Amino acid sequence: MALDVATFETIIPSRFLSFTIPHPALHTQLLRVAVLDSPVQPSDSPVVAALFVPENRESDWIFFTESGHLQLLLSSPGISRLILVGKNPTNVPDSIMISHKREKDTQFVKNLENSLKPLFIALSPRISVKNRIFDIPILHYEDNLICSVVLERSVGVLVGEMLVEDVEIESDNELDDNRRKREFRRRMRFKRMPNLIQTEIRIVPEAEFVLDRVRIGGEVEFRPDTGVLVHPYLIPMVAGMSIVGPHIEDRIQNGLKPKALCLGVGGGALLSFLRIQLGFEVFGVEMDEEVLRVAKQYFGLQDSEIQVFVGDAIEYLETLASGGRSSNLVHSGVGEDQLNLATGFATKFDVIMVDLDSCDARSGISAPPLELIQRHILLAASSIICEFGALIVNVIPPSRSFYDTLIHKFREFFHKLYEIDVGNGENFVLVATMQPVLLPASESQNTFLKELKGVVLEKYLDSIRKI
């Protein structure tokens, strides 16, 4: 069926279309072209941009789904229509996908750009053509991925399609002979937001191998390394506990394990780290049981040592605050007595760690969800935190007004607020304390702070500021 060019004369918010055309240089191949209009009403002068899909990434959800396309568009401010062009993915196995980072063939790409310029003009809104706005910017997608292998694709009742993949990434660290150190990771991603890595952990070979000969997807088995954190904002979240370090040290000196409640589990990297490296008693709440199954199978989450519940994290806060029991709350892997302990009225936590994002992909990536800052929810949270404890929240603000609203709401229920800039241009960590912090003991006496400094980068401890 012939494509009607008139279809593209106007911007229709959120409209998504895809089709194939012959490759202008490789006549035996097809190119897949996908066109997405911004969900935001366009200005009088809509801007059209094009992006070429990196080679061998054509079947990646980032480039092959509407949700991935939307996130690419939303991360490019001011773009009204984004055109994606890549080889048409065919005969892609469901279970495995290997991609290799390659140096760009500049001349080939340039020739392709020139060949497709008439197409880009034809796919531009009529007002742009009328005003002879033919300078369509070409965007470039860059990340640190070298290669990846999909270990499993599965479907969660609430999160939808997800995948687990082992990846090799470019490392910032160098070996003594100026070679790049090889970095291997395991990731969890959801199809509804494929550009967002839900969980990332370091993985290491099961046995001793010459590292230069190890590759993802080969015969070598990898295991999770749960003693380190690699996700950019998790280390700053842990660093935030230094603010209430004297209180946690006091708990330890009295023979008590400090307690952490983690709202949002994912692969469980944060929970495992708190238990293994800092000796916390850890509780977690995750909304999708399939996510927990994946976390246990692939990410090293030990449910015999970490108490995890399946349910809505926001509802769970209310359940704890009221001392009641929720019929919607399901416990994963521990006994009835421990369930009563976790939901008992007397339970107080030294820290509550919140790692929840918005479920609406069309509003872009944002965290935490707006439900968290309702007055009754913040009141519930403050009622189950110890007197000198803290609420620590991963924040991805979609706008300055969102961030200001968050801070204003927190000030109503917490004594002091602190901020840590993660430094990636996206995440902030907010730390809200219940009371003025205890006077710190000398560093030589505070074993908790010494342990914390041993596992947290100094720059994050130094970057904490009161707001």
Read off the pLDDT of residues 22-81 as tens digits, 9 standing for 90 and up: 998 888 889 999 999 999 877 778 899 999 998 888 999 999 999 999 999 998 988 999
- Other beta carbons within 10 angstroms of residue 100's beta carbon come to 13
From the list 143, 139, 241, 288, the residue with the least C-alpha distance to 452 is 241
Domain 231-466 CATH class label: alpha beta
Tokens 């370090």 -> residue:
245
Distances (CA, A) of 64 to 18, 41, 57, 60: 10, 24, 9, 6
Q: What distance in Å separates the CA atoms of residue 234 and residue 427, rounded to the nearest whole number?
A: 10
Q: What percent of the chain has pLDDT over 70?
A: 83
Residues with Cβ within 8 Å of residue 228, at least 6 apart in sequence: 201, 202, 273
- Name the stretches of the chain with pLDDT < 50: 94-95, 326-327, 333-341, 343-345
Q: pLDDT at position 350, please?
A: 97
Q: pLDDT at position 436, please?
A: 80
Q: Rg for the chain (alpha carbons), in Å?
A: 25
Q: What distance in Å separates the CA atoms of residue 128 and residue 42, rounded to the nearest whole number?
A: 12
CB 124 within 8 A of CB 8: yes
Tell me the sheet residues that pair with 417: 432
Q: What distance in Å separates the CA atoms of residue 49 and residue 82, rounded to the nearest whole number?
A: 5
Q: What distance in Å separates the CA atoms of residue 380 and residue 192, rounded to the nearest whole number?
A: 30
Distances (CA, A) of 262 to 101, 195, 389: 36, 23, 14
Greatest pairwise CA separation for the chain in angstroms: 77
Q: pLDDT (tens digit, 9 = 90+) per residue, 361-404?
A: 666 788 999 999 999 999 999 999 999 999 999 999 988 999 99
CB 222 within 8 A of CB 185: no
CB burial of residue 302 (10 Å; 0-12, 13-18, 19+): middle
Q: pLDDT at position 208, please?
A: 72
Distances (CA, A) of 126 to 6, 84, 234: 9, 19, 47
* pTM assigned to the model: 0.89
Q: What is the DSSP letter of 6?
A: G
Please name the amino acid found at residue 197.
I
Q: What distance in Å separates the CA atoms of residue 270 and residue 261, rounded to the nearest whole number?
A: 11
Q: pLDDT at position 310, please?
A: 94
Tokens 């070598």 -> residue:
220
Q: For the chain, what are the domain ranges? A: 5-139, 145-228, 231-466
- Other beta carbons within 10 angstroms of residue 421's beta carbon come to 14
Tokens 């950019």 -> residue:
232
Contacts 24+ apart (CB under 8 A), 174-181: none
Tell me the sheet residues that pair with 184: 168
